[in-house]
Structure 1
Amino acid sequence: MEEFVSAGYGTGREALLAATVHVVARKGLRGLTYRAVAEIAGVNNSLVAHHFGNRDALIEAALEWSVSRSIGLSGLENLPSDKDDFCRTLMALIRENPDLQTFQYEMILEARRRPELAGAVRRLYESYISALSVGLSRLGIKGGPGAAQAAFAALDGLVLQLIAGVEEEGVERAIRYLWGVLAGSDEAGSLSSLEV
C-alpha cells in the first residue's frame, strides 16, 4: 500500500476527503472506490457511503475540500508583500502537497468528459480567483478581477508544469517574474529576463 500520512486530518469526514484526494491523485478516477478510500483512511468502507451517499457526492466534497485547503496553505488571500516569500510559499505548497493540485487537475480534465462536474470546477476557479483578488487588493495591486484571473491563469499553468516535472528553477523564475509584473516592479524587466 502507498504511504499516506493522515496526520492533521482527523479520523472522520476530513480523513476520508484527504484519502479521496490521495487515491485520485495516485490512481486517477478509475482507481477511486469506497474500498480504496477506506483502506487509505484506515476505516471500514461503509463509513464512506455513510458520510457521502454516493461517489459523485464524495468527488464534489473532495474537490471543495482540496480547494479550501490549497487556498489556506497558499495564503492567496493574505499574500506576502515580498516576492521571495511569495515564491517560497507557493513552491512549498506544491512540494509538500502535490496530491492537492494533482487531484484538482484530474477533476478539471474529468469535467470535460462529465459535464455534471463542470459546476464544481467552475467554483474551483472562482474560489481561487476570488482569494487571489483579495490578496492583491490587500497589497494595493490594482486591476481587480481581471488581474486576479490573469495572475491565477499564470500560476495555474506554472503549478501544472511543476507537477509535470518541468525544471523547478524555471518555474521559480517565472513565479518571481509574475510577482514583479503584478507589483509593477522594475525588476520584472522584459520577457527575455526569464532566460527561457
Structure 2
Amino acid sequence: MATDRINKYGKGREALLEATVSVVAERGLQGLTFRAVAELAGVNNTLISHHFGTKDALLHEAVAWATARSIRLSDLSAAEIVNEDFARNLVELVAREPQLQIFQYEFVLESRRRPDLREEAVALYEGYIEALEVALIRQGHTNTKPLARAVFAALDGLVIQQLTVADAGVVREAIECIGQLLEANLARKNAQENLSGTGGRPG
C-alpha cells in the first residue's frame, strides 16, 4: 500500500503539494497535517517539514500550485471561444482531477473563518478572472473586467454543480450556453459599432 502511494505521489516538492491538495479535498482544512500528507505520499514527516517548514507555508504553496495548475489545464487565458471543445475539456478536467477544484473551494470557505487567508483567497479568484479577461479582450469584448467576473462566476458555479449535484452532460450543455451568450454579446457590440460608423443609418 505504501509503495502504491509512493508511486503515485513520489517524493519531490510538487508531489507533496499534490498530496496536500488530496488531503484537504478529502478531509477539509481541519484535516491537514504533516502526518496526513506524509501517510498519503508514503514519506517521512521530516521531509515535508524540510521542504515547507510550517503547515501554513505548506498550505500557501499548495494554493498557488493548485491555482496555477487549474488555470493551465483549463487554458482560460488561451481560450479562443467558449464552445463545445472548451466545455468538454473543462468538464473532463473536473472529472479527472476533482480534488484540484474541491481543495480550492475548501480554502475559499475557510477564508470566511480565517481572515488571514482572505487576501490569498481573493488572489485565487482574481487569477482566474484575469485569465478570462485576457481571452475576452482578444475576442473583442468590451467592459471586460465585470464581464470576466460574471462569466467566471457562472463557470465556477457549474463546476460546483458537477462536483455535487449535476450530471457532467448537463454541465457541458450549460457551459456551451455561456459561449452562445458571449457570441451574442459580441455580435450586438459589433452591430452597434457599425451603426455608429454610419451615423446611425443602417446600410
Q: Identify the TM-score tier after normalising by the shorter chain.
A: 0.7 to 0.9
Alignment of 1:19-38 (within 5 A): 19-38=19-38
Q: Any conservation in 1 of the 2:79–2:135 contact (CA below 8 Å)?
A: yes
Report what 2:62 is aligned to: 62
Q: SS where residue 76 of structure 1 aligns?
A: coil
Q: Structure 1 stretch 17-26 or stretch 35-44: which is displaced more? A: 35-44
Higher relative contact order (CA 8 A, sep 6+): 2
1:5 shift after superposition: 8.5
Root-mean-square deviation (Å): 2.2
Pairs within 5 Å for 1:37-56? 37-56=37-56
Counterpart residue number, 1:96:
96
Is the Cα–Cα contact under 8 Å of residues 16 and 41 in structure 1 kept in the other structure?
A: yes
The count of residues paired between Structure 1 and Structure 2 equals 185
Q: TM-score, normalised by structure 1?
A: 0.86
Partner of 1:134: 134
Check whether the contact 1:141–1:183 (CA below 8 A) recurs between aligned residues.
no
Measure, in 2, the Cα distance between the counterparts of 1:125 and 1:63. Answer: 11
Match of 1:161 in 2: 161
SS at match of 2:77: helix
Give 5+ residue unaligned stretches, structure 1: 187-196
- Counterpart of 1:68 in structure 2: which amino acid? A
Q: Which whole-Å deviations, capped at 9, do the CAs of 1:32-82 have from their partners, x for residues lacking one?
A: 110111122222111111111111111111111100000000010110436
Q: Partner of 1:81 in structure 2?
A: 81
The structure-2 alpha-carbon separation of the partners of 1:85 and 1:19, relative to structure 1 and needing over 3 Å to count, comes to: same
- 1:174: Cα distance to partner? 1.2
Residues 86-130 of structure 1, C-alpha deviation per residue, up to 9 Å, x if partnerless? 111111111111001000000011001111110110110110000
TM-score, normalised relative to structure 2: 0.83
CA distance in 1, matches of 2:56, 2:13: 15
CA contact (8 A) 2:111 2:121 kept: yes
| Residues 139-176 of structure 1 deviation map (CA, whole Å, 9 limit, x = unaligned) | 33333111111100111111011111323232122111
Residues 4, 121 of structure 1: alpha-carbon distance in 2 compared, 3 angstrom cutoff: farther
CA 6–165 in structure 1, closer or farther in 2 if over 3 Å, else same:
farther
Q: Distance in 2 between matches of 1:101 and 1:57?
A: 20
Report the Cα offset of residue 6 of structure 1. 6.5
- The whole-number CA distance in structure 2 between the counterparts of 1:87 and 1:171 is 8
Decide whether the 8 Å contact of 1:78 with 1:138 is kept in 2: no
The one-letter code of the counterpart of 2:178 is L
Tell me the alpha carbon deviations over residues 4-25 of structure 1, each in whole angstroms, 9 at most, x when there is no partner. Answer: 6975x76321111100000000
Cα separation, partners in 2 of 1:6 and 1:84, compared to 1, 3 Å: farther
CA contact (8 A) 2:17 2:58 kept: yes
CA contact (8 A) 2:111 2:117 kept: yes
Aligned-pair identity in percent equals 49
Residue aligned with 1:78, SS: coil
